[in-house]
Structure 1
Amino acid sequence: MNGGLRASMSWLHTWTGLICGWLVFAIFATGTATVFRHEIEAWTRPSLSARSDPAVGLQRAYDHLLVAAPQATLFGVQATNGQERDMLAFWSNLDGTYGQADLDPATGAPAVDPPTGGGEMFYRFHFELMAPYPFGRLAACLAAAFFASAVVSGVITHKRIFSDFFTFRPEKGGQRAWLDGHNVLGALALPFHLFIALTGIVTLATTFMPFGMTGAYGQDAAAFYADSAPETRGMPERAGKPAVMAPLAPMIATAERELGGKVGRLTVNNPGDASARVSLHRDNQGRLSRPVSGAVFDGVSGRLLAVSPPPGPAMATNDLLYGLHMAEFAGPALRWLYFFAGLSGCGLIASGLVLWTVSRRRKLANPAKPYFGFRLVEVMNVGAVMGLPLAIAGFFWADRLLPAGLADRPAVEGRIFLATIAATIVYSALRPQKRAWTETAWLAAFAFAAIPLLSAATGGRNLAASLAAGDWAMVALDLTLVALGGGFLFMARRAGRVAAPAPRRAARTAAAE
């Protein structure tokens, strides 16, 4: 690391980028997909064709759960909003069992579509990595911190970052072209790359940096969360006296007046009991900040008991940073901007990983037989950069092809997702590096472009029906999948030209030998 600040930052940029690059690419790719997780959720549930008023959906779900879950000690419902089409319900019973279901807003009953991970799977993988709590979240936070340091050190390394923004010379080929592409992608959405990493750490701050919480509350995390939502403090124990629940509609009207916005979430403690409490929380759709604001009612009389106080400065700052990361405030145009910025981040990471091998290959004693560490990086590059897109496409295929009655179907979808990544790594290890890039790119092109056709052939949503119904969200999703397929087709053709030596050059090489 000798040679001054810039040389030290170059070393830091290179090695932090390599060490965390594969994991950060996975987080970025699934995070980019998560921008449209509600549309993906709707694609996986074709029966939910229309959005409904959140208050109406909550009322129907409330009525349904009071009858369908008579032994519940608690149940909750996340209502639909401007993007979602289904409602997520959960409950816990007296015997300690619990459950959850996706409800149809039109009826309040469970949706008729087969169980699926939907867009929620990408969202959960983005920060949990399908790893046990808290290890996945800690790994995601650590990766975000490494990525932020790589971004900052990359800025310091470049003397001419603004001129690099306008310099791309693909005709140069080799290391120069990859470096230009890496620089352009880095400068193109530089503020986004930095703030998305830092706000991502904030969303999991109590997991990654719990010292403030433990310093004030010790190991009593429940007290911390109670103070974070003081209106829910002091929930009574179950009285054991059956009681008729108050109608929900007046409580929703009161909550919306007190909270200054639409209600988006419902929680009922001790339903059907004299001690019942109904908590209604404001929907954060369209809000830059993401506060947890709610109102608590007596579930039997319907009387308002408590309302969230305004958040303090620290909590307000946290809510703002959380909201910036989640982008629930964003309209269609801004969500597309998040999506394309996410794609640029994926390209930045992928080009950096490839650049590591390109810049070192010519220094190898025998490029045809590189040492183990170099070959491992090559294999992992293909496994991460092509394995994640193939796994995402594989999820869509699994959703349409797995039997509807398959036990634990969402978990099987998740295992297929992980198995696709593992299979890509193994395939890359068994094939020459350039051939592995070309062949996996061809496969990804087909896998994405064929998804709309697969959906139509298996009785799901299809582009023609979505156009006829004016369902532009589904039209955009289908066209985006086809466009991704086109992008991988372009990549496959470019990689194929590099992988296959020109006939004259091959002939000269053979003659020389």
Structure 2
Amino acid sequence: MTTGRMAEGTFRQAMAWLHTWCGLWISWLLFAVFLTGTLAVFDEPITHWMSPEHRAEEAAAEARGPQRPGQPEGPGSTSDRAQRLDWAVAYMARHHPSASMWELWPADAKGGGALTVYWFDDKQQYASARLDPASGRPLAADSPDAHRATSGGHHFVDFHYQLHAGSLGLWIVGIAAMAMLVALVSGVITHKRIFKDFFTFRPRKGQRSWLDAHNAVGVLTLPFQFMIAYTGLVISGLTFMPAAGLLHFGTDSASRQQLLTALNNPGKPAPSGTALPLPSLEPFAARGERLIGQPVRAVVIDHPGDAAARIAVYGWNSEEETRRRLSPTTGMASFEAASGRTLEVRQPGGVDGGTASLAQSVLGSLHMASYGGWTLKWLYFLAGMAGTAMMATGAILFMVKRRGRHAGAFGAASSRVHGLIESLNIAAIAGLPIACIGFLWANRLLPVALDQRAAWELRVFFGLWLIALAHALLRPRFQAWREQLGALAALCLLLPALDGLTTGDWPSAQLRRGDWESLGVAAGALILGAGAALALRGLHRRGRAPAPPRAEP
């Protein structure tokens, strides 16, 4: 029995060491991934807030009365779907005739908005242009109808899964997700009384309080965190485990392109080299709409102007469909441009590639909360914020336990290493939220007609984060916490006023017209600002508190 207890204690101690150090070195990255992933749950409302020009269009759409998603105004007007598609084709034929793919969006989800066209440029990057729905002419950057260039809420999506660093960032996040699973399992083993501790919180007890908070939010969101880490790895499984695809297709660049085509665009024809004028797209759009039972979202032409051209019609998912379907795919019908023959019909919720692809699609939907409507999104948001708090409390707990120690795991250098760790805590826990809210401020303060405006918003985000890191390294730790929390509180609490001053759209006006997306962003900023202000108040109280008397030896 004694030997068994010793073995159990040694094993739990080993798990505690693994949990502490594995969790610490990825805590800053996981905090960033969790925070931006939590914000990405509401990427569409954030994009809506960051595109204030949408508001006039949506007000006009409301005045027209209810419409089906993606359905422009009726026949005979200059903005009906057939006319819009003709204008889109004319623009692409004039400006991008050599592009291998044209993607035409005749209307937005509310049936209005500008006509938008997409293509792959010479660097195989996704490019786009917005056209005037009344004339088909490109909207100039300084046009009153032009939308400000912004990556919107998709910035948080992109950062969440690849850190804006392409495949390298994807691998970094994947390794962090694996380390997170290790930290979760070792944490469960370490905390023998984990469920009892969930109901225990002792405020104002220093290290004990931080441990109680860490345990509480950890146990509360444990199933959610396991699910998020596992499904995040599954979504990118072919990237992390590429052997099967490389074995089948080969390893050279052309073979990798064939693999990507097979995964993302199955059935795409090869160009024939024989020219053939593109037929009118409206008959194909109408047929596709009938076959899939959804209004038209986009018309995609592969190899336009070639005899082997393929025309694919994609549908819009209604809000009801996204609530009740696990798979987020829309309907799709593809046709042979030369003969009009139907090539493929995929009903809403279906996927190409069989059961394995369907399973991956469902797991991806589970990870991204693309079903269940707003109720599930709010549950994901709250669970994500609790998970973010778990990362933060764990990193702070590490320093609370070691603050003031002159010896430790790093010997004589322990004090310097612990100081560096606390600076990184400040830059991650306070600095990253400053960068996130600063990203929203940049959206309002940068000139609308600024060249590469979306890229400048990202530069502001990363620039503020670097400034926060430099500030945390140069200032005394306690002062750095107070100053960064103060800056975060001010930026958050003043965001609604900034919105009103720069766009003339105050929260009262948003409330009158029922613009809940814009109000939600403002309310979220106010809540975060209030939380930062409360934390700052607690630090002020701690700074004024008298030092405890030194105990006699």
**CA distances 1:367-412 after superposition (whole Å, capped 9, x unpaired):** xx96221111011000011111000110011011111222111111
Query: Structure 2 unaligned runs (5+)?
Result: 1-5, 62-66, 73-80, 140-144
Question: Within 5 Å, which residues of 2 pair with 1:95-244?
Answer: 99-101=127-129, 112-131=146-165, 133-172=166-205, 174-219=206-251, 220-228=255-263, 232-237=267-272, 239-243=274-278
1:122 corresponds to which letter in structure 2? F
CA contact (8 A) 1:60 1:107 kept: no
1:341 counterpart (366, 369, 383): 383
In the aligned structure 1, how far is the partner of 2:488 from the partner of 2:515?
Answer: 26
Question: Normalized against structure 2, the TM-score is what?
Answer: 0.82
Match of 1:56, SS? coil
Match of 1:386, SS? helix
Q: Tell me the residue number matched to 1:90.
A: 118
**CA distances 1:118-177 after superposition (whole Å, capped 9, x unpaired):** 11211111112122x3111111111111112211211121112211221111132x1100
In the aligned structure 2, how far is the partner of 1:307 from the partner of 1:399?
Answer: 41
2:354 counterpart (307, 312, 315): 312
185-194 vs 67-76, greater mean Cα deviation: 67-76
2:217 corresponds to which letter in structure 1? L
CA-CA distance at 1:214 after TM superposition: 1.9
CA-CA distance at 1:62 after TM superposition: 3.3
Q: CA 1:229–1:382 in 2, change beyond 3 Å: closer, same or farther?
A: closer
Q: CA 1:83–1:440 in 2, change beyond 3 Å: closer, same or farther?
A: farther
Q: Tell me the residue number matched to 2:10.
A: 4
CA-CA distance at 1:265 after TM superposition: 4.2
In the aligned structure 2, how far is the partner of 1:429 from the partner of 1:185?
Answer: 29
Q: Aligned pair 1:55/2:78, yes or no?
A: no
CA contact (8 A) 1:43 1:461 kept: no
In the aligned structure 2, how far is the partner of 1:16 from the partner of 1:128?
Answer: 21
Q: Aligned pair 1:381/2:418, yes or no?
A: no
Match of 2:71, SS? helix
Question: Normalized against structure 1, the TM-score is what?
Answer: 0.88
**CA distances 1:232-270 after superposition (whole Å, capped 9, x unpaired):** 332434532334x2233x434543554465554432123
Provide the alpha-carbon RMSD of the alignment: 3.2
CA contact (8 A) 1:246 1:302 kept: no
In the aligned structure 1, how far is the partner of 2:31 from the partner of 2:123?
Answer: 43
Q: CA 1:145–1:96 in 2, change beyond 3 Å: closer, same or farther?
A: closer
In the aligned structure 2, how far is the partner of 1:106 from the partner of 1:53?
Answer: 20
CA contact (8 A) 1:66 1:271 kept: no
CA contact (8 A) 1:435 1:496 kept: no
Q: Tell me the residue number matched to 2:335.
A: 297
2:299 counterpart (266, 286, 291): 266
**CA distances 1:193-246 after superposition (whole Å, capped 9, x unpaired):** 111111111222222221232233332233334444675332434532334x22
In the aligned structure 2, how far is the partner of 1:201 from the partner of 1:445?
Answer: 35
Q: Tell me the residue number matched to 2:23.
A: 17
In the aligned structure 1, how far is the partner of 2:465 from the partner of 2:532?
Answer: 17
**CA distances 1:464-497 after superposition (whole Å, capped 9, x unpaired):** 2211211122222211111111111111111222
256-265 vs 191-200, greater mean Cα deviation: 256-265
Query: Structure 1 unaligned runs (5+)?
Result: none
In the aligned structure 2, how far is the partner of 1:257 from the partner of 1:334?
Answer: 31
In the aligned structure 2, how far is the partner of 1:421 from the partner of 1:8?
Answer: 35
2:87 counterpart (46, 61, 64): 64
In the aligned structure 1, how far is the partner of 2:37 from the partner of 2:235?
Answer: 13
2:103 counterpart (71, 76, 88): 76
Q: CA 1:125–1:77 in 2, change beyond 3 Å: closer, same or farther?
A: farther
CA contact (8 A) 2:71 2:110 kept: no
In the aligned structure 2, how far is the partner of 1:431 from the partner of 1:505?
Answer: 22
Match of 1:134, SS? helix
Q: CA 1:30–1:60 in 2, change beyond 3 Å: closer, same or farther?
A: farther
In the aligned structure 1, how far is the partner of 2:372 from the partner of 2:275?
Answer: 45
Identity of aligned residues (%): 36
CA contact (8 A) 1:394 1:420 kept: yes
